[in-house]
Amino acid sequence: MVSRVVFGRGSFDQLQDILAPKRLNVKAPFIFLVDDVFKGDSWITSRIPLAYKDQILYISANEEPTTAQVDELVDQIILNHNDGPSGIIGIGGGSLMDLAKAVSIMLNNKGGAKDYQGWDLVKSAAVYHVGIPTISGTGAEVSRTTVLTGPDKKLGINSDYTPFDQVILDPELTRDVPRDQWFYTGMDCYIHCIESLNGTYLNAFSESYGEKAYELCKNIFVDDKLSDEEAQDQLMMASWHGGMSIAYSQVGVAHAMSYGLSYLLGTKHGIGNCIVFDHLEDYYPEGVQLFKKMKQKHNIVLPKGICADLSDEQFDVMIKVALSLEPLWENAIGKNWKNVITYDKLKALYQKM
Ligand code: NAD
Ligand code: ZN
């Protein structure tokens, strides 16, 4: 679990006080990995407390993080600084959260990031790392994984060293998120709840967090009676609770199939989950019904026909990636999932998207 958290509007300004005692020496910099959407946005960037050799690296979130990108960032940090960093601070959405987690691990572990995709492969503790989310939904700020696309798979580095040492939850930072993106990333949280609460891995720990996140999502996306500020506060906490819920259970059908889309077509996580989930009424009837209502209420039009021109070989790649995520299927369907989920069933579903 994340060991230290602050929550509150304006809490971003506590960053300097939080970092000061963690500085190893004046030559050991803090490296800020910041979503490049904030480049030139002084409202956020002017509040980043730079001193000595500290450095901001602006990074695009247009594409999801890759193992090669993590390796390049690590090389760049090592080459540009004589001393190893005092800490890595990620500022942005799930993409930047994952990059900060992965870079902090790889600074202290030999080899390439692809060698650590899987469960509990990390040998040495990561460099001190801090997460500051600027969009809510993925739960990446709280989770035990950092999802990376590698040369042959999209899979997280799941380990006890992955979670942040410190998270700053300042809902005010999410105020300028574009409306569509707010919905897609928010729905990632909603789908985490549905997949966790309807999964065979469910237990009291996951259920208690999942139910709370589900209730908050309904306040925000269905009842819609909150002020903008209340909605920002609640979605940030929904994201946290949704992340905690899947930390002790698993996601399900939407995530497995969305990983396939992402691997083959580069479809981003939030929108990819929405595209898939829209067709999963056989698996999550009530969840999908409410999803369609929320989609309509917020005037969201999802892309159609994204698989229309795919070749048989491409379907093959996508279906193999989806089917390789065995724990997700086992959680969704049960131990006998291989008798229920067939190649042809998945192909027919993808063809509808
Ligand atoms: P993102 O980080 O990809 O960002 C989405 C878009 O929103 C980007 O264009 C970004 O620039 C913009 N944005 C972010 N904050 C903004 C702000 N305050 N104002 C204006 N624009 C802003 O989106 P995401 O949905 O948060 O993250 C998706 C990523 O998270 C995927 O790579 C996925 O694999 C990963 N993920 C990780 C976990 C985990 O547990 N580690 C869980 C779910 C998803
Ligand atoms: Zn997700």
Residue 76 in tokens: 């760049």
Assigned CATH topology for domain 4-174: Rossmann fold (3.40.50)
Ligand 1 near 159 CB (within 6 A): no
* Cβ of 140 below 6 Å from ligand 1: yes
**Domains 4-174 and 179-352 alike in fold:** no
Q: What is the CATH number of domain 179-352?
A: 1.20.1090.10
List the one residue out of 160, 154, 198 whose CA is nearest residue 317.
Answer: 154
State both tokens at 151.
């040369």
Residues, CB within 5 angstroms of ligand 2 (ion): 188
Using the mean position of ligand 1's atoms as its centre, give its distance from the Cα of residue 185 in Å. 7
At residue 94, the 3 state secondary structure works out as helix
> Is residue 218 exposed (0-12), middle (13-18) or buried (19+ Cβ within 10 Å)?
middle
Asked whether 35 lines ligand 1 (CB < 6 A), one says yes
Cα of 96 from ligand 1 centre, angstroms: 7
- Tell me, what amino acid is at 219? N
Confidence class for position 152, pLDDT limits 50, 70, 90: confident
pTM over the 0.90 mark: yes
Residue 103's pLDDT is 98
- What the block records as the tokens of 169 is 């939850």
CA dist 230 and 128 (Å) reads 31
Extended beta strands in 93-134, E state:
118-119, 129-133
The whole-number pLDDT of residue 241 equals 98
Interhelix angle 253-265/179-197, rounded to 10 degrees, is 140
Please give the Cα distance from 351 to 16 (Å, whole number).
51
Question: Which ipTM was obtained for this model?
Answer: 0.99
Q: How many angstroms separate the alpha carbon of residue 61 from the centre of ligand 1?
A: 7
In the chain, domain spans: 4-174, 179-352
Give pLDDT, residue 29.
98
Q: How far apart (Å, rounded) are the C-alpha atoms in residues 267 and 11?
A: 33
The two three-digit tokens of residue 24, written as one number: 């190893």
pLDDT in tens, 174-208: 999 999 999 999 999 999 999 999 999 999 999 99
pLDDT-based confidence at residue 168 (cuts at 50, 70, 90): very high
Share of residues in the chain with pLDDT > 90 (%):
97
Cβ of 181 less than 6 Å from ligand 1: yes
For 26-37, how does the pLDDT look when each residue is reduced to its tens digit (9 = 90+)?
999 999 999 999
